[in-house]
Amino acid sequence: MNEPSVDKPLEQWQRWRTVLAAERLPCAVVDLDAVDHNARVLRAALPSPGPRLRLASKSLRCPALISHILSLDPGFQGLLTMSAAETRALFELGFDDLFLAYPASRPEEATDLADIAARGGKLLATVDCAAHVDLLDAAAREAGTVLPVAIDLDLSLPLLGQHLGVRRSPIRDAAAALALARHIETRSGTVLRGLLAYEAQVAGIPDRVRGGALLDPVRGLIKRRSIPLARRRRAELLAALGPLPIVNGGGTGSLHSTGLDPSVSEVTAGSGFLCPHLFDGYEGLPLRPAAFFALAVCRQSDRGFVTCYGGGYAASGPGGADRSPLPWLPPGLKTVDLEGFGEVQTPLDTRACPVELELGDPVLCRHAKAGELADRFDELLLVRGERIVQRAPTLRALGRGAEGGLLAPRVLI
Ligand SMILES: Cc1ncc(COP(=O)(O)O)c(C=O)c1O
């Protein structure tokens, strides 16, 4: 089976129908029992003894949910954050041990980070060039503090003239890292404390293509070549730079292989806790879908079809059908090719659905990605069994949404 199994999907849909009976739709829900199951799966994927797991805040974007996951296992520690303002916001909410994985490029971002360090926060800021360092150095000296930094090492795989991986850091070998480390040493406001080395082409690509039961041989080849390359590059860099307290790698899809690298002190994961549909199809990760949005059936134009209100929540990344949400419960629903998930309305083909959907009924759908769901809603309803146990504000609601840059009060017109 290529899809994660849904036990008794009709009963599950009935359960959501009960949970959401008095809710305004559309809304976003998180099934805490499934989150807890996924936490156990991710924990088991990490070698033991092995590195700790750092949570990717961008894949959750909801402080209460982050706190819940951190409480599940003593090996889950710290956050990998996505922007300077979001990092500061999380610090102000009480989170510590923050590793900003994407470099600051504006003075105000550097000031946010220096402010955290000056207030005693445990923080690492990512750099990949001298200009990043100089920006942080100036802000740190201004704030009378020293900012710990991590060098971002590129782990993309050159294969048949292709660049397989992300285009982020120009640091690809020990010589480049050493030159940057020397530059960091010349600055009194920064100190080198870590390495970020993320093998995106292993961590972020499922082993099976959606709809296929078999492993994808090309992806397999890319992963088989990338895993030893990542291990070699990390080791070469650390041999040149000397040991560093934090060496971060991986993501949900590479917990096991990254965790086996003896150079690595921590592995990042975020998406796996919620299992959005792009995270189906990883070998050895029997994750359960845990986050959904619910749309209300609002009309019926033809027999065998219903139309729901809302739903056009496409995910970022290379445009394509896989970025679209997936109708999930009740089972058997399909989108209509000419419309897909619409800006205001989403028609669904119900001919293979075993229940007769009525006006106002909820349809549960899965987003393609984990964190972006939280950018569509002000709260996530955290659910256990048939009970909403918490209405958890998202970072968007707290005014620190997707880019994290919005710290000003929200203006209501
Ligand atoms: C630096 C870094 N580490 C780890 C991850 C993996 O996070 P997730 O487990 O949510 O896929 C990402 C995702 O893009 C990333 O950018």
Residue 403: count other Cβ atoms within 10 Å of its Cβ.
Answer: 11
Measure the CA–CA gap between 325 and 327, rounded to whole angstroms: 7
Closest-lying ligand 1 atom to the alpha carbon of residue 279: 11
Concatenating the DSSP letter of every residue in 244-258 gives -SEEEE--GGGHHHH
List, for residues 323-340, the tens digit of each pLDDT value. Answer: 999 999 999 999 999 999
Identify the three-state secondary structure at position 186.
coil
What is the distance in A from the centroid of ligand 1 to the CA of 55? 9
Check which CATH number belongs to the domain holding 169 and give it: 3.20.20.10
Q: What is the pLDDT of residue 400?
A: 64
- Helix then strand then coil, in percent of the chain rounded to 5, is 35, 25, 45
Q: What is the pLDDT of residue 1?
A: 37
Q: Residue 400: which of 54, 27, 62, 55 has the closest Cα?
A: 62
pTM for the predicted model, two decimal places: 0.95
Residue 175 has pLDDT above 90, yes or no: yes
Q: How confident is the model at residue 207 (pLDDT cuts 50, 70, 90)?
A: confident
> What integer best gives the mean pLDDT of the chain?
93
Please work out whether the CB of residue 330 comes within 6 Å of at least one atom of ligand 1.
no
174 within some domain? yes
37 within some domain? yes
List, for residues 393-406, the tens digit of each pLDDT value. Answer: 999 998 865 455 44
What is the distance in A from the centroid of ligand 1 to the CA of 203? 8
Closest-lying ligand 1 atom to the alpha carbon of residue 268: 4
252 within some domain? yes
68 within some domain? yes
Euclidean distance between the first and final Cα of the chain, in Å?
Answer: 49
What is the distance in A from the centroid of ligand 1 to the CA of 279? 12
Residue 214 has pLDDT above 80, yes or no: no
Q: What is the pLDDT of residue 327?
A: 98
Closest-lying ligand 1 atom to the alpha carbon of residue 59: 10
Residue 117 has pLDDT above 90, yes or no: yes
Tell me the mean pLDDT in the region 21-47: 97
263 within some domain? yes
Q: What is the pLDDT of residue 287?
A: 97
What is the distance in A from the centroid of ligand 1 to the CA of 283? 18
66 within some domain? yes
Residue matched to tokens 């100190």: 191
Q: What is the pLDDT of residue 209?
A: 80
Q: What is the pLDDT of residue 208?
A: 86
Catalogue the long-range contacts made by 403-406 (C-beta closer than 8 Å, 24 or more residues apart).
403/83, 403/85, 403/86, 404/82, 404/83, 404/84, 404/85, 404/86, 404/87, 404/89, 405/83, 405/85, 406/85
Q: What is the pLDDT of residue 218?
A: 85
Tell me the mean pLDDT in the region 191-217: 87
Give the DSSP letter of residue 374: G
Q: Which two tokens stand for residue 154?
A: 């590129």
Q: What is the pLDDT of residue 160?
A: 85
How big is the chain by its Cα radius of gyration, in Å? Answer: 22
Q: What is the pLDDT of residue 161?
A: 87
Please answer whether residues 116 and 138 qualify as being in contact, where contact means their C-beta atoms are separated by less than 8 angstroms.
no
Which residues make Cβ contacts (< 8 Å) with residue 97, sequence separation at least 6? 77, 78, 79, 122
In the chain, % of residues over pLDDT 70? 95
Tell me the mean pLDDT in the region 366-391: 97
395 within some domain? no
Tell me the mean pLDDT in the region 269-283: 95
Tell me the mean pLDDT in the region 259-264: 97
Q: What is the pLDDT of residue 374?
A: 96
Name which of 3-7, 27-31, 320-324, 364-368 the model is least confident about. 3-7
Q: What is the pLDDT of residue 409?
A: 40
User: What's the domain range around 112?
Assistant: 33-271
Cis before 330? omega within 30 = yes
What is the distance in A from the centroid of ligand 1 to the CA of 102? 11
What is the distance in A from the centroid of ligand 1 to the CA of 82? 10
Q: What is the pLDDT of residue 403?
A: 52
Tell me the mean pLDDT in the region 115-138: 98
Please work out whether the CB of residue 268 comes within 6 Å of at least one atom of ligand 1.
yes
Measure the CA–CA gap between 302 and 412, rounded to whole angstroms: 39
Name which of 266-270, 343-347, 407-411 the model is least confident about. 407-411
Which residues make Cβ contacts (< 8 Å) with residue 149, sequence separation at least 6? 124, 125, 126, 127, 133, 136, 184, 190, 191, 192, 193, 194
* Residue from 55, 202, 268 whose mutation best tests the ligand 1 pocket (most atoms within 8 A of CB): 268
Identify the three-state secondary structure at position 272.
helix
Give me the torsion for CA of 41, 46, 48, 54, rounded to 10°: -110
301 within some domain? no
Q: What is the pLDDT of residue 4?
A: 54
User: Which secondary structure element, helix H or strand E, spans residue 365, and what is its range?
Assistant: strand 362-366
Please answer whether residues 136 and 154 qualify as being in contact, where contact means their C-beta atoms are separated by less than 8 angstroms.
no
Q: How confident is the model at residue 81 (pLDDT cuts 50, 70, 90)?
A: very high
Measure the CA–CA gap between 35 and 78, rounded to whole angstroms: 18
In the chain, % of residues over pLDDT 90? 85
| Number of domains the chain is built from | 1
Q: What is the pLDDT of residue 70?
A: 98
Give the DSSP letter of residue 183: H
Q: Residue 250: which of 263, 268, 223, 232 has the closest Cα?
A: 268
In sequence order, what E strands does 6-108 have?
27-31, 52-56, 76-81, 98-100
Q: What is the pLDDT of residue 398?
A: 86
